[in-house]
Amino acid sequence: MSNDAGRLEGKVCVVTGGGSGIGRAVCLLFAQEGAAVVAADVNAESAERTAEAILSQDGRGTAMEVDVSQAESVRRMVESTVEELGRIDVLVNNAGFGFAATVVETEEADWDRLMSVNLKGVYLGCKYTVPVMIRQGGGSIVNTASAAGLVGVPDRAAYCASKGGVIAMTRAMALDHVGDGIRVNCIAPGSVESPYFDDIFARAEDPAALRRQMESRHPIGRLGAPAEIAQGILYLASDDSSFVTGSALSVDGGMTAH
Amino acid sequence: MRLGGKVALISGGARGMGAAEARLFAKEGARVAIGDVLEREGREAAAEIAAAGGEAMFIGMDVTSPSDWDRAVESVASRFGRLNVLVNNAAIYLRGLVEETAPEDWDRVMEVNAKGPFLGTRAAIPAMRESGGGSIVNISSFNSLVGTTTSTAYNASKAAARLLTKSTAVQYAKDGIRANAIHPGPVWTAMFTSGFPDTESIERRRAQAPLGRIGTVEDVAYGALFLASDESSYITGSDLVIDGGWTAQ
């Protein structure tokens, strides 16, 4: 089983935001499980680094530059993948970002930019990949949502809205494409160790206190590791979850359980 | 192996979903204890695992009995030395609208489906703490998330198990004990088919399923495997919905 064949053996997987954080961890894990991985990122260098890391662990990986908010860029990513690897079995719409602000503090341009990456990016990824999956008879799509799409988080209004949108679109898409053999699910991570939080901690008046406060939001008492989120995405991507569609899996150390 | 070195106790493990979980867990390296009121089927399920090269034991137990749970946890600890995983899987189904549900039948369903997991959790926590942490997987139901026109007590009992899960998760995270719930949709088991008066009504249910099929016990077992294993180390208090899209609509 897990020791013999990988859980994604022979599958072609596209991961957006694959250059860093959760996306990079997903790429490395998927490659370990036998997949041919396309690490796509707006930062081409970071995508290259992920692909190199995959190759150095004897996996199959290629890097691609993509801006998920641009239809033409996403269409090219899908086309190149099919040209090079023949198919797309798994799409992980993971690219996203956040910023701290209330609605009043949020500039219109920042709102638009956030929505265009976090929500429109998921729409575009699906728009161009679903026809490929229909042609080949099925596939699995996993969207990276957030605990912030399930519960309110102070000072993250736009981010919460974008991730709530991802969860709602996941459910609707699951129903639209259930007859095509395409499963659509999302993962809802809690706070995850990342350069984003390092930066927020570093700029705080009392970094240690802020970290403790963030950690205490999660009953498990710590932030998640990217690799832990990747395991949830692997479950949803693989055939282990063949009866799972339209669901949001929380990987949040208990954050939304209380 | 995804559960190498782990010891799991599965209530209702003699047949259906529980037996599938026991088989898969053993295949992934766990030593498995099958707890059930069904002696013959339980011994057969354990023997089948042993024949396939796994390690399994049978424990005759009624999940509504606190002393049976204490004895079960003790037997597991003495035979296998530890307890890492508990799957509260044993359950009964009762068809009937509110007016059709007799008060004593309501009590019986609650006794097995809600109090059973509570007693199991209560008995397992000290043993898990001694083992350095653990994972509790409660098999709830998609009927804990939405109302149905067919059953009442069953749905309420499964909703109780769902919130038991979240409280356990929040209370024992500090001890390294995780608790999560699985919500299967319609799945082929004896319990599922017993809920329908005839095969035509089963067929109607199948046709209503977004995915166009009824789930298999393996679909649920793979979810339980994921939640039992260290792969889900950051998941606690969660709902894993394995329902072919039922509750997305």
Closest to A17 measured CA to CA, from A9, A27, A7: A27
Choice between B33 and A201, residue whose per-residue pLDDT is larger: B33
- CA dist., res. A162 & res. A118, Å (int): 6
Instruction: Mention every residue, 6+ apart, whose C-beta is less than 8 A from residue B179.
Output: B121, B135, B136, B137, B138, B165, B166, B168, B169, B172, B236, B237
Residues 6+ apart with CB under 8 A from B208: none
Nearest to B9 by CA among B111, B125, B94: B125
Answer positive or negative: Cα dihedral of B160, B166, B169, B171: negative
Q: Would you list the domain boundaries of chain B?
A: 7-189+217-242
- CB contact (8 A) between residue A174 and residue B236: no
Hey, of A177, A238, A243, A245, which one would you mutate to test binding to chain B, going by the most B CBs within 10 A of its CB? A243
> Is residue A174 within 8 Å of residue B248, measured between CB atoms?
yes
Indicate which residues of A carry an active-site annotation.
159
What range defines the domain where residue A136 resides?
A: 12-194+223-257
Yes or no: say if B63 and B113 are a contact pair by the CB < 8 Å rule: no
Compute φ and ψ for A226, nearest 5 degrees: -50, -40
Question: Is A86 buried (19+), middle (13-18) or exposed (0-12) by CB count in 10 A?
Answer: exposed
Q: Note whether residue A5 is domain-resident.
A: no
Intervals of chain B under pLDDT 50: none
The rounded percent of chain B whose pLDDT value lies above 90 is 88
Question: How many angstroms separate the CA of residue A51 from the nearest CA in chain B?
Answer: 23
Residue B82 CA to residue B176 CA, distance in Å, equals 15
- CATH value at residue A52: 3.40.50.720
Task: Provide the pLDDT confidence category of residue A4 given band limits of 50, 70 and 90.
Answer: low
Q: How far apart are CA B141 and CA B239, in angstroms?
A: 10
Residues in a beta bridge with A139: A182
Flag if B236 and A232 touch (Cβ within 8 Å): no
pLDDT in tens, A95-151: 999 999 999 999 999 999 999 999 999 999 999 999 999 999 999 999 999 999 999
A211 assigned to some structural domain: no
Tell me, yes or no, if the pTM score tops 0.90. yes
Partners of residue B177 in chain A, C-beta under 8 Å: none
Residue A5, pLDDT > 90, answer no
d(Cα A133, Cα A129) in Å, to the nearest integer? 6
| C-alpha distance from A94 to closest chain B C-alpha (Å) | 18
Of A248, A182, A231, whose CA–CA distance to A7 is shortest? Answer: A231
Statement: residue A2 has pLDDT above 80: no
Of the partner residues B174, B212, B241, the one whose CB lies closest to the CB of residue A244: B241
B144 near B162, Cβ under 8 Å?
yes
Closest CA to B9 of B28, B36, B27: B36
**CB-based contact A258 B248, cutoff 8 Å:** no
According to DSSP, residue B87 is labeled: E
* Contact assessment for residue A166 and residue A145, using Cβ atoms and an 8 Å cutoff: yes
- What pLDDT shows up at residue B217? 97
pLDDT at A185: 98
Contact residues, chain A, for B220 at CB < 8 Å: 243
CB atoms within 10 A of CB B206: 14
Q: Hey, how many other C-beta atoms are within 10 angstroms of the C-beta on A197? A: 15
CA distance, residue A40 to nearest chain B CA (Å): 25
CA dist., res. A184 & res. A39, Å (int): 20
Q: Count the domains in chain A.
A: 1
Give CATH for domain B7-189+217-242.
3.40.50.720
